[in-house]
């Protein structure tokens, strides 16, 4: 039995080391920082930085993860009740995997951030709201360009989306304890939801699956909204880049606006939504007519896609191998829902962007920009160089709007929230609140 324990611990160590190697390789494929002379795929925005040395690293990581998992799953049954506290070990493995994913995300964000700071400049790419093109969207026929923009968006943010799905899957399988601690809607709990977002520099689209996963596990509505909005607005790397590339008054706006929207606005939305938590009575619903009934049924059907909690039970994840199996299976289920929602949402946002008028540095321009920027999605940080360019061009009010509305929410983000909470009022109120705050910020800088 002692040899079985030793072999089991060795397999667990191999699994974690292989997972770390696999994550490191994938993030290097995205960012290209380990080697020199990469073969770059995607132009002008790079999707992949490829090197022949990636191949053995990927093979070693995949084989190590697979073989170690198989060995662990095979011997765990015999180890239960024989001197190994598998439940305690499972909690430790959950924490380690979570740390790996956060480190991976920080590497993904930190490498380009350090390059921007070292170069002393930060630019924006072609495409919708400076997103950058990795495929030749500009050569597509006009009617097809929004579809190309939607596909391009998923390609540009594929790494962050993958990490977000993996984190969300981990929370769905083993996040009950965290969700339980954040189950209330008190202000302190709300602040904790925002604090949880600080080390997780996701865009709104990628933060939404994580917040929704925690909500489905029991997290309160307020903390979920606080996490989802604070992740793109208050994460540490975004604030550092804002401090490096924006004028002082816009640094203050970005920080204060992040606190206002990420904490206070989301708190107000959660309180307002709580007044409808009991739902409407049947006769009240009937009074709204057929359209209301039809839309309610449609929303209910859509929200069923997000009932991930019914596919897992933490009691089943009572060993590291069971945790790993449940985590990857749940991440797959999450991806099957989230990726299509993101694709449809990004295509819709791209069509909306085509209708966006040229805006002057005046009140109509501020209102129009706030409306469109609330709906559009951008990768993390894109609003910073975009705002800096607008300031240099004399469009200070438009720049202020972009700093608040672009990172906070987007159509895909709001769509995921709607499905998770099974209530259209929540995303509508959140979007309207961000829209209004964006207008106020723009007026301040006219």
8-state DSSP, 357: P
- How far apart CA 98 and CA 379 sit, in angstroms, is 22
Burial class (CB in 10 A: 0-12, 13-18, 19+), 76: buried
Are both 219 and 136 inside the same structural domain? yes
Contact 2, 21 (CB under 8 A): no
Q: At what angle do helices 411-421 and 320-354 cross, to 10 degrees?
A: 130
Tokens found for residue 338: 């989230």
- How far apart CA 116 and CA 309 sit, in angstroms, is 41
**Adjacent-strand bridge partners of 84:** 80
Question: Could you tell me which of 333, 371, 381, 123 has the C-alpha nearest to residue 231?
Answer: 381
Helix (H, G, I), strand (E, B) or coil at 174: helix
pLDDT 10s digits, 400-422: 999 999 999 999 999 999 988 88
Number of domains, the chain:
2
Are both 333 and 426 inside the same structural domain? yes
- How far apart CA 327 and CA 168 sit, in angstroms, is 9
Are both 96 and 76 inside the same structural domain? no
- HSE-up of 350 (CA within 13 Å, CB side)? 26
Are both 240 and 286 inside the same structural domain? yes
Are both 181 and 322 inside the same structural domain? yes
pLDDT value for 276: 65
Are both 298 and 176 inside the same structural domain? yes
Residue after which a domain boundary falls, among 29, 63, 84? 84
Are both 14 and 140 inside the same structural domain? no
Helix (H, G, I), strand (E, B) or coil at 351: helix
First to last CA, the chain: 74
Helix (H, G, I), strand (E, B) or coil at 40: strand
pLDDT 10s digits, 244-264: 999 999 999 999 999 999 999
Are both 271 and 195 inside the same structural domain? yes
- HSE-up of 356 (CA within 13 Å, CB side)? 23
Burial class (CB in 10 A: 0-12, 13-18, 19+), 200: buried
Distances (CA, A) of 381 to 8, 41, 133, 208, 264: 43, 22, 16, 17, 22
Residue after which a domain boundary falls, among 42, 67, 84? 84
pLDDT value for 1: 56
Are both 35 and 114 inside the same structural domain? no
- How far apart CA 109 and CA 286 sit, in angstroms, is 50
Question: Could you tell me which of 112, 156, 217 has the C-alpha nearest to residue 342?
Answer: 156
Taking the CA atoms of the chain, what radius of gyration do you get in angstroms? 23
- How far apart CA 57 and CA 55 sit, in angstroms, is 5
Contact 8, 72 (CB under 8 A): yes
pLDDT value for 51: 96
Are both 45 and 116 inside the same structural domain? no
Taking 50 as the pLDDT cut, the residues of the chain under it are 278-286
- Domain of 11 in residue numbering reads as 1-84
What are the backbone dihedrals phi and psi of residue 80, each rounded to the nearest 5 degrees, phi first?
A: -65, 125
Are both 364 and 235 inside the same structural domain? yes
pLDDT value for 278: 47
Are both 59 and 104 inside the same structural domain? no
pLDDT value for 259: 95
Residue after which a domain boundary falls, among 69, 84, 99? 84
pLDDT value for 379: 83
pLDDT value for 293: 63
Token match 């540009």: residue?
Answer: 156
**Adjacent-strand bridge partners of 40:** 49
8-state DSSP, 80: B
């Amino acid at each position: 039995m002692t040899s079985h324990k030793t072999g089991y611990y060795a397999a667990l160590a191999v699994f974690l080391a292989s997972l770390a190697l696999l994550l490191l390789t994938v993030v290097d494929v995205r960012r290209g920082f380990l080697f020199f002379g990469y073969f770059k795929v995607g132009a002008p925005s790079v999707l992949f930085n490829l090197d022949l040395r990636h191949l053995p690293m990927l093979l070693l990581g995949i084989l190590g993860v697979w073989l170690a998992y198989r060995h662990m799953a095979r011997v765990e049954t015999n180890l239960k009740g024989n001197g190994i506290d598998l439940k305690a070990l499972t909690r430790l493995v959950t924490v380690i995997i979570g740390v790996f994913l956060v480190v991976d995300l920080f590497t993904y964000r930190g490498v380009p951030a350090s390059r921007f700071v070292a170069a002393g400049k930060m630019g924006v790419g072609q495409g919708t709201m400076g997103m950058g093109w990795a495929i030749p969207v500009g050569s597509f026929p006009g009617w097809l360009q929004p579809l190309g923009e939607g596909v391009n968006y998923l390609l540009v943010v594929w790494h962050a989306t993958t990490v977000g799905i993996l984190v969300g899957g981990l929370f769905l399988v083993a996040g009950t304890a965290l969700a339980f601690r954040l189950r209330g809607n008190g202000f302190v709990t709300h602040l904790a939801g925002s604090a949880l977002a600080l080390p997780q520099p996701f865009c709104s689209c990628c933060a939404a699956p994580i917040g929704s996963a925690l909500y489905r596990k029991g997290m309160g509505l307020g903390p979920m909204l606080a996490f989802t909005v604070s992740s793109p607005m208050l994460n540490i790397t975004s604030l550092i880049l804002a401090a490096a590339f924006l004028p002082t008054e816009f640094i203050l706006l970005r920080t204060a606006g992040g606190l206002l929207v990420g904490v206070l606005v989301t708190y107000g939305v959660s309180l307002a939504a709580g007044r409808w938590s009991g739902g409407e009575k049947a006769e009240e619903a009937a009074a709204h007519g057929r359209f209301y009934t039809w839309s309610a049924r449609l929303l209910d059907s859509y929200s069923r896609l997000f009932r991930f909690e019914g596919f897992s039970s933490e009691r089943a994840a009572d060993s590291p191998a069971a945790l790993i199996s449940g985590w990857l299976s749940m991440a797959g289920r999450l991806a099957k829902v989230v990726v299509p929602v993101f694709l449809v949402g990004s295509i819709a946002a791209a069509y909306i962007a085509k209708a966006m008028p040229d805006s002057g540095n005046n009140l109509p321009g501020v209102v129009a920009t706030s409306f469109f920027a609330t709906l559009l999605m951008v990768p993390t940080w894109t609003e910073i160089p975009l705002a800096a360019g607008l300031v240099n061009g004399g469009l200070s009010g438009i720049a202020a709007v972009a700093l608040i509305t672009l990172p906070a929410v987007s159509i895909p983000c709001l769509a995921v929230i709607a499905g998770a909470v099974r209530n259209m009022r929540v995303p509508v109120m959140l979007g309207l609140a961000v829209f209004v705050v964006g207008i106020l910020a723009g007026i301040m800088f006219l």
